[in-house]
Structure 1
């Protein structure tokens, strides 16, 4: 059983307290993290040979911060590509406090995406709160994006320093940023944190937030309707934000509430095309629809896919497989339509 202890500068906890499963904040302010409980119970090893149509391998993007990612390629690349494939950078969920790029759920999502959309996927890591409060996760996301920019430049120059899987198979003018829950929040902040022109010649063609983790101080309609949600009950939801936001910040901070007065004005941000995916029984549903409406009002090109019976984790629910197939098709169409339009 792995444990990790780090310094915690907040003063919320006056005695040892397990604030999330496997995450203890001690009275002296240090954090004890049981990685077996705060990361997925099942870690999945990369497979550099094709299994069920997908191969994967792990790459380190920045040795100092420890940021890494798992690259997935579809078996279609072995048949000789007529044209190189889009690449999707995927950020996992977990309330910014839990999860792992190599965990069971991100691996499942990335593998499924790789096969159904015929794309290369990177499941990207980021450091977790409360040891690493926001905006560190957003900075780590840009570490991945700048690493990908270097790969793009290597491909353009024929530099052998580039990763061979990416050099042979990726069209760097067709980059998509996608994330689920906290990862969907990260996908938004990849776009608003820096001008995407800074990534040139890398081109972000689209962004796909899936049930993005947004909130605010005033409870929304859906938060009131689903306060005891099995996956994201209100208490857990608020704990995630208390641990992830900068010390002293509340849920109207722009990192949490993209429509707050202090958040970047959506009309002033250059967004690529967006596909927003939401679930009707998600406690975050109201905030996500407000975000969609604000994007439309700001003149942005945004499509909405809604799963009426879906919960916050509908992508993992077998009973909703028909809906998930519909979502798969919407994502694939969005990616490939972007290229053709």
Structure 2
């Protein structure tokens, strides 16, 4: 079992109404969907309405939950830093619930894909050359998407390749402003950058932020965030850039 300090990363953190380090945690039901809320403690300088950040947690639509300690330590920090209410749904997971079960449409003021994992059926150069990590290996990528995508679909499906030939043309889509966050050493960096270039070509409002020298979902690795000054600094910078985007939109 992977551990981060004395707490297992997959240990469930129960809700708490009390504000701990400035953040409370609640589970609520919204239209038959259980979601976890991370509201920050209101400060005098806060506006009357705090922004809401909806985050779909990782795990290839097959594993993980928003109440795992791995996400708890990120969501609470994010809520404190950005003065936002972080909302993360308990996704209906594959293979029992294949896509699009986990991604029902919502209306948003902006979108912030953080290491979204866009891919194609053919291996990209970064998939062949970048390091595999406990947070993403080629085997995980292949197996999770095989379980999550509709039966018979390949990685070229629009769910995982929104810039591909099978996807609706980006030019014809009404999209909110987008901040695409990419890790420089991510296995799927090249296809994520391909999405960015396709968005620019389609004249969409898209910004790019690259975490230099970082791998996929590095900010979830609490040991590295706590012990490695570079990872800590890159995590701070990522949160700051996201905060800037939220305040802008």
1:133 aligns with: 98
* Secondary structure of the structure 1 residue equivalent to 2:160: coil
Alignment partners' CA distance in 1, 2:161 and 2:189 = 13
Question: Is the aligned partner of 1:331 residue 2:242?
Answer: yes
2:170 to 263, 266, 272: 266
Q: Per residue, is there more helix in 1 or in 2?
A: 1
1:310 to 198, 201, 214: 214
- How many positions carry a matched residue from both structures? 236
1:99 aligns with: 64
Alignment partners' CA distance in 2, 1:301 and 1:275 = 9
Q: CA RMSD in A?
A: 1.9
* Secondary structure of the structure 2 residue equivalent to 1:236: helix
Alignment partners' CA distance in 1, 2:59 and 2:129 = 22
Question: Is the aligned partner of 1:286 residue 2:190?
Answer: yes
Alignment partners' CA distance in 2, 1:252 and 1:335 = 31
Using CA pairs below 8 Å that are at least 6 residues apart, which structure has the higher relative contact order?
A: 2
2:39 to 53, 61, 73: 73
**TM-score normalised to structure 2 length:** 0.89
1:243-278 per-residue CA deviation (whole Å, 9 max, x = no partner) reads 111111111111121122121211111111111111
* Secondary structure of the structure 2 residue equivalent to 1:258: coil
Give the ranges of 4+ consecutive aligned residues of structure 1 lying more than 4 Å apart after TM superposition: none
Contact 2:10/2:64 (CA < 8 Å) preserved in 1? no
2:129 aligns with: 225
**TM-score normalised to structure 1 length:** 0.66
1:241 aligns with: 145
Question: Is the aligned partner of 1:277 residue 2:181?
Answer: yes
Which 5+ residue runs of structure 1 have no aligned equivalent? 1-20, 22-38, 146-195, 197-203
- What is the correspondence of 1:172-211 to structure 2 with a 5 Å cutoff? 196=107, 204-211=108-115
**Cα offset for 1:106?**
2.2
Q: Per residue, is there more strand in 1 or in 2?
A: 1
